[in-house]
Amino acid sequence: MLSISPVRGYSPGKASTTVTPALPMAAIAFLVLAVHGPLLLMQLPAASEGGSTQIFLAQHYAQSWFNPWNEKWFAGFSQTGYPPLTQQWVGLASHLMSLTAAYMLVQLCVVILLAIGTFRFARLWVDERSAGYAAIGSIFLGSLSVLVYQAGDLPATASTALAINGVVYLYGWARKARFLSLLKGLLLLVAAATADPVTAFFGTALFALPVIVAAWMDHGDRDVDADRPSPIAVLIRAVLMLAIAGVVAVVVLAPFWPSFFTQHRLAIANGSRDNFLLNFSSAVNYWLIPMGAVVLALPYIFLSGLAERRLRPLFFAFYIALIFGLGGTTPVARIVLGRFYESFSLDRFTFWATLLALPILGELASRLIERYSIKASIGLGVAAVLTFAMPLAYMAAHPANTNPFRTDPVIGFLNRDNHDRFRYLTLGFGPQFAEVGAGANASTVDGDPSAGRTLPEVAAFGVTHFDAARNYGSDGMEALRAVLKHASQYGLKFIFVRDRYYEPLLAFAGWRQVESYENGNVTLWSKEDVPPARKIEPTTVIPYLERMLWGIVPVLCTLLAFGLILVTPERRRTAETIPFPTAETTPRMQEAR
Amino acid sequence: MKLGAIVMIVILLLLMGAGTVQQATKHANTNTPEAALRSFLDQVRAKHWDEAYSMTQPGAGVDKDAFVKDLGGNNGSLKTISSLQNENTKILRQSSNDADIRAELQWSTAVGALHETRDFKMVNDDGEWRVAWPAAPKSQAVAKALPTTYLRWDVVQRGSAKDEWGVQNVEPPRMRIISMNAIENQGDVVILGEVVNEDTVPGFVAINAILLDKDGNSIAEESSFDKISHTLLPKEISPFRIDFPNRKLAEIKSVRISPTNILVPAAADPVVGVMNQRIEKDQDGKSILRGDLVVQGGQTVNIPHVLATFYDRTGKVIWVSDGYVDRALLPQQAVPFTVNLRDDLAGQVQNYRITVNYYNSNRS
% residues pLDDT > 70 (chain A): 88
Q: Is residue A18 part of a domain?
A: no
Q: How far is A59 from chain B (nearest CA, A)?
A: 29
Looking at this protein, which amino acid is placed at residue A312?
A: R
Query: How far is C-alpha A120 from the chain's CA centre?
Result: 19
State mean pLDDT over A227-253. 89
CATH number of B26-132: 3.10.450.100
Same domain, A482 and A425: yes
% residues pLDDT > 70 (chain B): 92
Query: Cα(A503)–Cα(B244) distance, rounded to whole angstroms?
Result: 25
- pLDDT given for residue B30 in this prediction: 67
Report helix, strand and coil shares of chain A as percent, to nearest 5.
Answer: 65, 5, 30
- pLDDT given for residue B150 in this prediction: 81
Q: Is residue A25 part of a domain?
A: no
Residue of A nearest to B86 (CA): A474
Same domain, A164 and A205: yes
For testing contact with chain B, the best of A279, A309, A508, A517 (most B CBs within 10 A): A508
% residues pLDDT > 90 (chain B): 40
Cβ under 8 Å to A: B residues 54-113 = 78, 81, 83, 85, 106-113
**Residues in Cβ contact with A288 at an 8 Å cutoff, skipping those fewer than 6 apart:** A295
Q: Are strands B188-197 and B175-185 parallel, antiparallel or unpaired?
A: antiparallel
Same domain, A280 and A337: yes
List CB contacts (< 8 A) between A505 and chain B: 110-112, 226
**Residues in Cβ contact with A122 at an 8 Å cutoff, skipping those fewer than 6 apart:** A130, A131, A134, A135, A358, A359, A362
Stretch among A5-9, A494-498, A548-552, B130-134 having the lowest mean pLDDT: A5-9
- pLDDT given for residue B4 in this prediction: 83
Contact assignment for A515 to B107 by CB distance below 8 Å: no
Q: Which CATH class is domain B272-359?
A: mainly beta
Which among B19, B111, B208 is the nearest to A505, CB-wise?
Answer: B111
Is B258 within 8 Å of chain A by CB? yes
Report residue B163's pLDDT band, with 50, 70 and 90 as the boundaries: very low
Residue of B nearest to A506 (CA): B111
Query: Cα(B187)–Cα(B192) distance, rounded to whole angstroms?
Result: 16
Q: Given phi > 0 = left and psi -120 to 50 = alpha, else beta, which region is B127?
A: left
The answer to whether residue A2 scores a pLDDT higher than 60 is no
Q: How far is B8 from chain A (nearest CA, A)?
A: 8
Contact assignment for A331 to B19 by CB distance below 8 Å: yes
Looking at this protein, which amino acid is placed at residue A315?
A: F
Residue of B nearest to A527 (CA): B165
Containing structural domain, residue A120: 35-400+545-567
Is B4 within 8 Å of chain A by CB? yes
The answer to whether residue A15 scores a pLDDT higher than 60 is no
Judge if the upstream peptide bond of residue B270 is cis by omega within 30 degrees of 0: yes
- Average pLDDT of the residues of chain B: 86
Looking at this protein, which amino acid is placed at residue A402?
A: T
Report residue A456's pLDDT band, with 50, 70 and 90 as the boundaries: confident
Q: Are A199 and A166 in contact (CB under 8 A)?
A: no
Span B313-360, pLDDT tens digits = 999 999 999 999 999 998 888 999 999 999 888 889 999 999 999 998
Contact assignment for A513 to B18 by CB distance below 8 Å: no
Cβ under 8 Å to A: B residues 188-217 = 204, 206, 208
Same domain, A449 and A358: no
Same domain, A321 and A389: yes
Same domain, A414 and A388: no
- pLDDT given for residue B29 in this prediction: 65
Report residue A11's pLDDT band, with 50, 70 and 90 as the boundaries: very low
Same domain, A352 and A418: no
Q: Is residue A71 part of a domain?
A: yes
List CB contacts (< 8 A) between A419 and chain B: 163
What are the residue ranges of helices labelled H in B225-300? none
Q: Is residue A89 part of a domain?
A: yes
Q: What is the pTM of this model?
A: 0.82
**Residues in Cβ contact with B345 at an 8 Å cutoff, skipping those fewer than 6 apart:** B310, B318, B319
Residue B337's SS3 state is strand
Query: Cα(B316)–Cα(B342) distance, rounded to whole angstroms?
Result: 16
- pLDDT given for residue A165 in this prediction: 94
Residue A361's closest CA among A516, A145, A137? A137
Residue of B nearest to A499 (CA): B110
Span B67-87, pLDDT tens digits = 898 888 888 999 999 999 989
List CB contacts (< 8 A) between A319 and chain B: 8, 12
% residues pLDDT > 90 (chain A): 55
Q: How far is B302 from chain A (nearest CA, A)?
A: 10
Q: Is residue A590 part of a domain?
A: no
Report residue A225's pLDDT band, with 50, 70 and 90 as the boundaries: low
What's chain B's length in residues?
364
Structural domain spans, chain B: 26-132, 166-267, 272-359
Query: Cα(A244)–Cα(A246) distance, rounded to whole angstroms?
Result: 5
H or E segment to which residue A380 belongs:
helix A347-397
Query: How far is C-alpha A506 from the chain's CA centre?
Result: 37
Same domain, A423 and A367: no
Residue B140's SS3 state is coil
Write down which residue in A499, A526, A553 finishes a domain: A526
List CB contacts (< 8 A) between A515 and chain B: 162-163
Residue B191's SS3 state is strand
Report residue A224's pLDDT band, with 50, 70 and 90 as the boundaries: low
ipTM of the complex, rounded to two decimals: 0.89
- pLDDT given for residue A588 in this prediction: 53
The answer to whether residue A593 scores a pLDDT higher than 70 is no
Same domain, A396 and A412: no
- Average pLDDT of the residues of chain A: 86
Domains B166-267 and B272-359 in one fold: yes
State mean pLDDT over A421-443. 91
Contact assignment for A474 to B19 by CB distance below 8 Å: no
Domain tally for chain A?
2
Same domain, A57 and A182: yes
Query: Cα(A249)–Cα(A85) distance, rounded to whole angstroms?
Result: 12
Query: Cα(A388)–Cα(A391) distance, rounded to whole angstroms?
Result: 6
Q: Which superfamily is assigned to B166-267 in CATH?
A: Immunoglobulins (2.60.40.10)
List CB contacts (< 8 A) between A503 and chain B: 110, 359, 361, 364
List CB contacts (< 8 A) between B108 and chain A: 470, 473-474, 476-477
Stretch among A266-270, A433-437, B204-208 having the lowest mean pLDDT: A266-270
Q: Is residue A573 part of a domain?
A: no
List CB contacts (< 8 A) between B221 and chain A: 486, 488-489
Q: Is residue A26 part of a domain?
A: no
Q: Maximum distance among all alpha carbons in chain A?
A: 109
- pLDDT given for residue A221 in this prediction: 57
Span A250-304, pLDDT tens digits = 999 999 888 777 766 656 667 888 889 888 888 999 999 999 999 999 999 999 9
Q: Are A381 and A368 in contact (CB under 8 A)?
A: no
Q: Is residue A360 part of a domain?
A: yes
Which sign does the torsion angle of CA A202, A204, A210, A212 carry? negative
Is B348 within 8 Å of chain A by CB? no
Which among B12, B230, B357 is the nearest to A323, CB-wise?
Answer: B12
Same domain, A456 and A384: no
Which among A299, A331, A504 is the nearest to B111, CB-wise?
Answer: A504
Q: How far is A514 from chain B (nearest CA, A)?
A: 5
Q: Are A189 and A204 in contact (CB under 8 A)?
A: yes
Contact assignment for B110 to A502 by CB distance below 8 Å: yes
Stretch among A116-125, A339-348, B287-296 having the lowest mean pLDDT: A339-348
Q: Are B133 and B62 in contact (CB under 8 A)?
A: yes
- pLDDT given for residue B27 in this prediction: 59
Query: How far is C-alpha A252 from the chain's CA centre?
Result: 20
User: How many CB pairs below 8 Å do chains A and B form together?
Assistant: 147
Query: Cα(B84)–Cα(B115) distance, rounded to whole angstroms?
Result: 10
Same domain, A360 and A243: yes
